[in-house]
Amino acid sequence: MRRIYLDYNATTPVAPSVQEAMMPFLTEHFGNPSSNHALGRACHEAVEDAREQVAGLLGAEREEIVFTGGGTEANNLALKGVIQRRSPGEAHLIVSSFEHPSVDEPAKHLHRIGYAVSWLPCTPDGVVEPQAVEDAIRPNTALVSVMHANNEVGSLQPIRQIAEVCRSHDVLVHTDAAQSTGKVRTNVDELGVDLLTIAGHKVYAPKGVGALFVRRGVALEPVIHGAAHEGGLRPGTENTPYIVGLGRAAVLASKALDEAADRLAALRDRLWERISRAIPRATMNGSQAERLPNTLSLNFPNVTGGELLGRTPELCASTGSACHSGVTHMSPTLEAMGLAPQTARGAVRLSVGWYTSEEDIDRAASLLIAAWEGLED
In this structure, are residues 97 and 332 in contact, taking their beta carbons and an 8 Å threshold?
Answer: yes
Residues 6+ apart with CB under 8 A from 197: 71, 74, 75, 78, 174, 175, 176, 177, 178, 210, 211, 212, 213
Q: What is the pLDDT of residue 377?
A: 62
Q: Where are the domains of the chain?
A: 4-10+257-376, 16-253
Q: What is the pLDDT of residue 324?
A: 37
Nearest to 371 by CA among 332, 296, 334, 319: 319
Give the CATH architecture of domain 16-253.
3-Layer(aba) Sandwich (3.40)
Which of the two residues, 324 and 11, has the higher pLDDT score?
A: 11
Same fold across 4-10+257-376 and 16-253: no
Calculate the alpha carbon distances from 331 to 70, 318, 334, 362 in Å: 23, 11, 5, 27
* Predicted confidence band of residue 38 (pLDDT cuts 50, 70, 90): confident
For the cut 80, the answer to whether the pLDDT of residue 327 exceeds it is no
- Name the pTM for this structure: 0.95
Tell me how crowded residue 337 is: count the other CB atoms within 10 A of its CB. 27
* Predicted confidence band of residue 328 (pLDDT cuts 50, 70, 90): low
Q: Which of 43, 122, 166, 323 is catalytic?
A: 323
* CATH T-level topology, domain 4-10+257-376: Aspartate Aminotransferase, domain 1 (3.90.1150)
Residue 347 phi/psi, 5-degree rounding, is -75, 135
The predicted model gives 330-350 an average pLDDT of 93
**Cα 235 from chain centre:** 24
Calculate the alpha carbon distances from 32 to 43, 68, 232, 287, 311 in Å: 7, 16, 17, 49, 49
The predicted model gives 78-104 an average pLDDT of 96
SS3 for 20-31 is: HHHHHHCCCCCC
The b-or-e profile of 258-277 (16+ CB within 10 A means b, else e) is eebbebbbebbeebbebbee
Q: Check if 323 is active-site.
A: yes
The number of CA neighbours under 13 Å toward the Cβ of 207 is 4
185-233 tens-digit pLDDT = 999 999 999 999 999 999 999 999 999 999 999 999 999 999 889 888 9
Residue 321 identity (one-letter amino acid): S
249-297 tens-digit pLDDT = 999 999 989 999 999 999 999 999 999 999 999 999 999 999 999 999 9
